[in-house]
Amino acid sequence: MSWERILKKDFSVEPQGVRISENGFSDDYVQIARELEIPFARKTWSKGSSNARLYNTNMGKELQEIAAAMQKLGMNITFAKLIDEKYNMEDNPDGDGLYEHDVKSGVAAKIEYQGREKILYFVIYSEGAYTEAGDKPLFHIPRVLEDETVFTDVVLESLNLGEGPSKDPVRNDMDDDKDSYREWWNTLSRDEKIKESEAGSPPPEEYGRGPWPPKQDW
């Protein structure tokens, strides 16, 4: 069943387990691109040194372009950080983040249009935790934060404008890859699965988690 046939997610429903940061909403798109978890607004960070983002004059360009286009339609958009209600630096500034499992984060976008206001919540889910042994959680970032076209389409659709995104905004490319990999894996015989594992192909539940076979001694 394609995602279009499934009931679409309503991003305007406030999710459980997260809240908007005390800093609230901002239209400082350069600062938003630096601090908030919006991959499509941070894609230039991968170029140059680790400090390149501090001197990048194009930081937040994608967000500024989206905001400018929406202003032409009479909309104003601002952003805020979503933080886990239980595990966050605002309530626990001395916390080091170790051994805190499944911490949520993300972005809230507030859209003002024709005297109305709508807040959309885009949650990032983590699986696992940071540990002293070097373990890191696996983050599930929705495509709506990875693809600026999908993001724009979701915002417009929330105001009953446009036809909505052409891709499932809740999923991401890794999710799609996992599904394709699982489908391929399930076509293999038992002997073929053993051979593939020995050759370095992990079972579907371990796909995307790191080297295979996993390291035994850290």
Beta carbons within 8 Å of 17's beta carbon, 6+ residues apart: 84, 85, 86, 104
pLDDT, average across residues 36-44:
81
pLDDT, average across residues 188-211:
85
Residue 172: band (very low, low, confident or very high) from pLDDT cuts 50, 70, 90: confident
pLDDT of residue 96: 84
pLDDT, average across residues 95-116:
92
- Least confident residue range of 43-57, 68-82, 89-103: 43-57
User: Distance (Å, rounded) from C-alpha 122 to C-alpha 140?
Assistant: 11
pLDDT of residue 205: 83
User: Distance (Å, rounded) from C-alpha 128 to C-alpha 58?
Assistant: 34
pLDDT, average across residues 157-185:
88
pLDDT of residue 122: 97
pLDDT of residue 21: 95
Q: Mean pLDDT over all residues of the chain?
A: 86
- Token digits of residue 14: 């406030």
pLDDT, average across residues 20-24:
95
Residue 99 main-chain phi, psi, to 5 deg: 60, 25
CA dihedral 3, 8, 13, 18 (to 10 degrees): 0
| Helix 61-72, helix 148-158: angle, nearest 10 | 30
Beta carbons within 8 Å of 120's beta carbon, 6+ residues apart: 11, 12, 108, 109, 110, 111, 154, 155, 158
pLDDT surpasses 90 at 4: no
- Residues linked to residue 19 through DSSP beta bridges, in sequence order: 83
Given the DSSP bridges, would you call strands 105-113 and 18-20 parallel, antiparallel or unpaired? unpaired
Report the candidate in 117, 110, 105 with the shortest Cα–Cα distance to residue 142: 105
User: Distance (Å, rounded) from C-alpha 79 to C-alpha 144?
Assistant: 14
Alpha-carbon distances of 82 from 85, 169, 193, 208, rounded to whole Å: 9, 18, 41, 26
pLDDT surpasses 50 at 170: yes
Q: Is 30 exposed, middle or buried (0-12, 13-18, 19+ CB in 10 A)?
A: middle
Beta carbons within 8 Å of 182's beta carbon, 6+ residues apart: 204, 207
